[in-house]
Structure 1
Amino acid sequence: MSAFFPLAIVVVAGVVYHVAQKASGAVSPWPMLAIAYGAAFAVAIVMLFARGGDARLPAARDCMAGLALGLAAFGIEAGFFFVYRSGWPLASAQVIANLSVTAILAITGIMVFGEHLTAGRAAGLALAAGGATLIARG
């Protein structure tokens, strides 16, 4: 599998995700999220067995990471539900949220994982922040 394919999955799924979030007429996010997580659970179970995966419970560290991932995904999805219902445009809400996450992750990468902030990355963050500002102003 080329490195491009997983990124393409993320991009396509991200577009579908945000369009579905914005287009949903649901008054409450909870039934919509229950359906979404039910579908995700079903696909994960099918993939687990279809790919010959090991169905044993993972190590405690991985269970905690999975729990954190699930709670974070839930927070993102519920948050975007309320962001879009409060009137944020599709074109700017995601850009501003992701730029904020990117900036925090850049700092986290430096402080926690010993990554380096190169001049090119710093310039990229600055350009992205400028672009997000222009998008937010409409």
Structure 2
Amino acid sequence: MSYIWPLVLIVVSNSIYHICAKSLPAKADPFAALTITYFIGTVFSAALYFLLNRGSAGLVQEWKSLNWTPYVLGFIVVAIEAGNVYAYRAGWSVNTLPVVQSACVAVLLLVLGFLLYHEAITPSKLIGLACCVVGLYFLNK
């Protein structure tokens, strides 16, 4: 169960995310909307931290133990959000954009996983990669 529930959380959350990104009013500035998004995200993250980490060293101590990744993730998450909003405004459909971007990310991460983390590229992964490329072709036909 501990292997499945995170995937379910990602799938459900990502589906709702794309509906929200597609439904943002056309006249709304995406970055103004993101300030609200991240304010809510900050409050929610802090609440979850304090709810789930009773007796821990404390939030400031946790921050001191972090490396560069949350800082870079802050920029990257804004880029992902803005990219999705602008893609939907450019005419992408909600039943195509997530599939195309996921396939492209899968292809890129297969290579990056090999180069950065020495993860194996197996024949079955190459077949999966080929399926992604073929799927992209048919999605854009």
TM over 0.5: same fold?
yes
Q: Does 1:2 align with 2:6?
A: no
Corresponding letter in the other structure for 1:6: P
Helix, strand or coil for the counterpart of 1:91?
coil
Aligned runs of 1:83-122 on 2, under 5 Å?
A: 83-122=87-126
Pair 1:34 & 2:35 matched: yes
Specify the alignment match of 1:50 in structure 2: 51
Q: Quick one: structure 1 residues 97 and 135, their matched pair in 2 at CA, closer, same or farther if it must change by over 3 Å?
A: same
Greater relative contact order (Cα 8 A, min sep 6): structure 1 or 2?
2
Alignment of 1:44-83 (within 5 A): 44-51=45-52, 52=54, 53=56, 54-55=58-59, 56=61, 57-61=63-67, 64-83=68-87
| Distance change in 2, residues 1:3/1:60 (3 Å) | closer
Write the letter of the residue equivalent to 2:23. A
1:98 shift after superposition: 1.6
Between the aligned partners of 2:139 and 2:65, the Cα distance in structure 1 is 43
Question: 2:114·2:120 contact (CA, 8 Å) conserved in 1?
Answer: yes
In structure 1, distance between residues paired with 2:47 and 2:7: 22
TM-score by length of 1: 0.91
Q: Does 1:22 align with 2:26?
A: no
Structure 2 unaligned spans of 5+: none
> Which string of whole-angstrom CA distances, capped at 9 and with x for unpartnered residues, describes residues 65-97 of structure 1?
001111111100001010000111111112111
RMSD: 1.3
d(CA) in 2 for partners of 1:76 and 1:136? 21
- Equivalent position of 1:124 in the other structure: 128
> Identity of aligned pairs, percent?
26
Unmatched segments (≥5 aa) in structure 1: none
Q: Using structure 2 for the length normalisation, give the TM-score.
A: 0.89
Q: Which has the higher helix share?
A: 1
SS of the aligned residue for 2:25 comes to coil
